[in-house]
Amino acid sequence: MKPKILITNDDGVHARGIYNLWNAVKDLADVVVVAPSSQKSATGQASSLTKPLKIHTIGTWENNVENIYSVNGTPADCVKLAISEILDRKPDLIVSGINRGSNAGRNVINSGTIGGVIEGVLRGIPGIAFSCSDFEKKEFDDLVPQVRDLVEHFLSEPPHRGSLFNVNFPTNSLDEIKGVRMTKQGRGYWIDTPEKRIHPEGVPYYWLGGTWNELEEDKESDVNLLKQGYTTVVPIHIDQLTDLDLLDTRKEAFEKSFNTEPSQG
């Protein structure tokens, strides 16, 4: 039996990147696409709790390919509905992207591309998020061979339970990429810079923009290696969020401050 792959993204079901991702993996597995009906960037793992969600079949891809669905919600919504309502069995892998723009550094916290994968990881399903640093790039056909190779590898050697792989491609075309490096997440991130505007009726409103917060990076970080022209692969662990070092160093003194008797166990 072929493995089953669920594909999602945050740029929307009609984005070229998700088509390229589908094209890269369609021969490796039984593939189902469930993606937002519109742009849902920077939604993280948000869920839609104040509106009804609807599933629509999309028939606009080549040869009227089946198993392409849109949901009027977030990437996390898409994964939830895919698993509970669309798929006939639990997927072996969730892949998300290919996102326009980098998800290197601490962008992972807000990324809808990664949020969809996290929703699967929390359910015990391994996942890979794909992004490209070149935000202006609209076609990712040249990246298809490397995407296919990476997915094929991770199908046979998935991440540990509770982890995902965050893959970022540099701005270079495939024949200019220096190589693939497994590395650590960088520290840089986008800082919101709200722009105040005035409605014709005189009421102020704000349009969120952003500037990249350039920090000193480890030379082995994904942010630094992307600048050098490497594809970066970062294993991100989300299963245990506790700061275990802080817990170990402060637990005893903290509890003595608030309890007359030490806690048991």
**DSSP per residue, 158-212:** PPPTTEEEEEEE-SS-GGG--EEEE-B--S-EEEE-PEEEE-TTS-EEEE--EEE
Write down the pLDDT at residue 83: 97
Which amino acid is it at 58? I
Write down the pLDDT at residue 152: 96
Domain ranges of the chain: 4-188+216-258
Residue 128, SS3 per DSSP: strand
Question: In which residue are the tokens 């015990």 written?
Answer: 124
Is residue 30 within 8 A of residue 3, CB to CB? The reply is yes
Longest Cα separation, the chain: 72
Q: What is d(CA 261, CA 265) in angstroms, rounded to the nearest whole number? A: 12
Residues of the chain with pLDDT under 70: 59-65, 189-191, 210-215, 261-265
- Candidates 199, 194, 192, 182; CA nearest to 234 is 182
Q: What is d(CA 2, CA 219) in angstroms, rounded to the nearest whole number? A: 40
Write down the pLDDT at residue 199: 87
Write down the pLDDT at residue 78: 97
- Pairing relation of β-strands 4-8 and 93-100? parallel
Per the confidence metrics, is the pTM higher than 0.85?
yes
Residue 1's Cα: distance from chain center in Å?
27
**CATH tag, 4-188+216-258:** 3.40.1210.10
In eight-state DSSP terms, residue 84 is: I
Q: What is d(CA 2, CA 20) in angstroms, rounded to the nearest whole number? A: 20
- Candidates 101, 107, 79; CA nearest to 6 is 79
Q: What is d(CA 151, CA 86) in angstroms, rounded to the nearest whole number? A: 22
Token code pair at residue 241 = 């969020």
Cis before residue 125, ω within 30 degrees of 0?
Answer: no
